Structure 1
Amino acid sequence: MSENPRAVIFDIGNVLIQWRPERLYAQLMPAEDMARFFAEVDPHLMNDRIDRGAPFRDTIYAHADAHPEWSAMIRLWHDRWIEMASPVIDGSVSILRQLRASGVACYALSNFGVESFAYAETHYPLLAEFDHRYISGHMRTAKPDAEIYQMVEADCGLSGNQLFFTDDRADNIEAAASRGWQTHLFTDPTSLRAALTRAGLPVQ
């Protein structure tokens, strides 16, 4: 039988703050150009290197230099990054604050670059509202690699169903579930609140 979790772990992008790079590019180019841009340049692969500790600006600008046809658009991933990471998902932030006010430990586990996270902190004070933050760029590994989940367990001293984890990506959820964590694939704050309630956590 599952025990009530002793800590709740939140992903950040698309759980607490929207992460929608495509939304910005859709404002700047026709749909067919945007589809070709993402297919030819694969900026998400570039972003994965940043999430694993590569430098923010230098990685993006080097990628732009390697793709001169798209260089101006690629540089926007750095220059207008904050527009891609917005707005706050208020319902999720309310859940985070209610859990913490009830004495439940809350952690962040997020694929995020070192410098981009520092930049996000200047816009989003809520990023300071965790008992601990596990940021992939600092850890030099990223979800869904098993290593990052092992590192969280070793640091916080909890494992298995003592941990409740919510993330918007199924592969990240599956990796956590394989370690026995209680999990919820995030779609919206209402369903997250219901899942936390079922897990016996105080979010009524």
Structure 2
Amino acid sequence: MKRLTPVFDFGGVLFDWHPPSLLRRELPQRAFDADSAAHWVEQVFQGYGGDWGAFDRGAVDVAELVPRIARRTGLAEHEVQAIVDGVPRELQPLPGSVALLRRLRDAGAPLYFLSNMPAPYADHLEAQHDFVGWFRDGVFSARVQAVKPERAIFDLAAARFGIAPAELLFFDDVLANVQAAQAAGWQAVHFTGVDAAEAALRAHGLWSS
């Protein structure tokens, strides 16, 4: 059996990403409990479609995004700007996931990533976290103008990596993205935690100890 090559999502897999916490921290006057936080998460992020989806795709920059969200939601521009500026504080490394990544690197596994990520945050993560340099290559959505779960980004990533889709093992915390990867011919696992991810890696022969 040919050894598979692991590919990791970033938000929710290698980095913490919990939008209700982000909203409660940055807009406590509006997102003051679970229900109000959930409301504003939906209003701002729209399930990562709409305005924020365009930001993920690299179709709009911050200067355009902020007034668009403000007009649509009724938030003040300074409130939207606070959310945008607060995202890097939310994207903190998950220690268990980074330890798993380190073990894969030390075992000689080539590492790749595929992440929906607006350009400013991609730049920030590369600059601030040395372990991002452990990856041989990766795809950030904003840099290729395509987003998960679209088929195009999976085809583009496999071609860029130079690896057959069936030989890629993708970890993503969003089930729709896992299913899209599988439809594109990838092996894919719904990331629910480090222990389950390690079990999947073992099952696919990435290490035995």
TM-score of the superposition, structure 2-length normalised?
0.86
For 2:97 and 2:183, the matched residues in 1 are separated by: 25
Alignment RMSD, CA only? 2.0
For 2:200 and 2:45, the matched residues in 1 are separated by: 34
For 1:152 and 1:161, the matched residues in 2 are separated by: 13
Counterpart of 1:19 (choices 1, 17, 20) is 17
Question: Once the 2 structures are TM-superposed, how far is the Cα of residue 8 of structure 1 from its aligned partner?
Answer: 0.8
Question: Once the 2 structures are TM-superposed, how far is the Cα of residue 97 of structure 1 from its aligned partner?
Answer: 1.7
Equivalent residue runs for 1:106-121 within 5 Å: 106-121=111-126
Equivalent residue runs for 1:167-178 within 5 Å: 167-178=172-183
For 2:201 and 2:10, the matched residues in 1 are separated by: 17
For 1:40 and 1:21, the matched residues in 2 are separated by: 12
Question: Once the 2 structures are TM-superposed, how far is the Cα of residue 184 of structure 1 from its aligned partner?
Answer: 1.0
Percent identity of paired positions between Structure 1 and Structure 2: 26
* Contact 2:57 2:144 (8 Å CA) reproduced: yes
Check 1:121–1:156 CA distance in 2 against 1; reply closer, same or farther (3 A cut): closer
Partner residue, 2:32: 30
TM-score of the superposition, structure 1-length normalised?
0.88
Check 1:79–1:18 CA distance in 2 against 1; reply closer, same or farther (3 A cut): same
Equivalent residue runs for 1:1-204 within 5 Å: 3-5=2-4, 7-27=5-25, 28=28, 29-31=31-33, 32-42=35-45, 44-45=48-49, 46-67=51-72, 69-71=74-76, 72-86=78-92, 88-202=93-207, 204=209
Check 1:59–1:120 CA distance in 2 against 1; reply closer, same or farther (3 A cut): farther
For 2:171 and 2:11, the matched residues in 1 are separated by: 11
| Matching residue's letter, 1:166 | F
Q: Greater relative contact order: 1 or 2 (C-alpha under 8 angstroms, separation 6 or more)?
A: 1
Structure 1, gaps ≥5 residues long: none
Show CA shifts across 1:145-179 (max 9, x none): 00011111211221232111100011110011123
Check 1:24–1:157 CA distance in 2 against 1; reply closer, same or farther (3 A cut): closer
* Contact 2:44 2:73 (8 Å CA) reproduced: no
| Matching residue's letter, 1:190 | D
